[in-house]
């Protein structure tokens, strides 16, 4: 399991591969990339989105005061999977199912008007 740990991501086209020992954040799409974080030409956070990529799926999950568990995220993805999510404001919860079947939880820890977004990220091992 990876995390929970803070991961800073540029909103101007960052690809995340979550099926590795620690998440890879790249400016170009590596093999197996699961999500893309991108905004429009303005670079404004208000226009940023998280996209499922190459088989990755994303879903919203309600903010809770307690820790989000793998089963909670898996259920969110199974019920509400989408190709993309916007509204990357502080506290926003995002669940991901990767192309290889791992489940991840990302909570937006900081989202300044311009600049990188920081996610508190947890990636669970493959279910057995």
pLDDT, tens digit, for every residue of 13-51?
999 999 998 999 988 887 889 999 999 888 888 889 999
Domain count, the chain: 1
Please indicate, yes or no, if residue 128 is contained in any of the structural domains. no
- The pTM is what? 0.92
The pair of structure tokens assigned to 127 is 């279910």
Residue 43 in any domain: the answer is: yes
Band of residue 7 on the pLDDT scale cut at 50, 70, 90: very high
Cα 118 → chain centroid: 10
Residues 47-74: tens digit of each pLDDT? 899 999 888 899 999 866 678 999 999 9
In a domain, 72, yes or no: yes
In a domain, 55, yes or no: yes
Per-residue H/E/C for the chain: CEEEEEEEECCEEEEEECCCCCCEEECCCCCCCCEEEECCCCCEHHHCEEEECCCCEEEEECCCCCCCCHHHHHHHHHHHCECEECCCCCCCEEEEECCCCCEEEEEEEECCCECCEEEEEEECCCCC
Instruction: Identify whether 80 is part of a domain.
Output: yes
What tokens does 123 get? 């990636």
Is there a contact between 123 and 106 (Cβ–Cβ < 8 Å)?
no
- What domain range includes position 37? 2-123
The sign one gets for the Cα dihedral 61, 90, 40, 121 is negative
């Amino acid at each position: 399991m990876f995390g929970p740990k803070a991961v800073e991501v540029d909103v101007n086209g960052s690809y995340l591969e979550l099926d590795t020992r620690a998440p890879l954040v790249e400016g170009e799409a590596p093999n197996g990339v699961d999500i893309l974080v991108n905004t429009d030409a303005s670079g404004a956070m208000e226009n940023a989105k998280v996209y499922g990529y190459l088989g990755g799926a994303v879903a919203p999950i309600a903010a809770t005061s307690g820790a989000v568990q793998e089963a909670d995220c898996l259920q969110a993805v199974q019920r509400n999977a989408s190709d993309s999510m916007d509204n990357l404001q502080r506290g926003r919860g995002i669940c991901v199912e990767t192309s290889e079947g791992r489940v991840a939880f990302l909570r937006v820890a900081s989202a300044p008007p311009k600049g990188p977004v920081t996610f508190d990220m947890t990636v669970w091992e493959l279910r057995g």
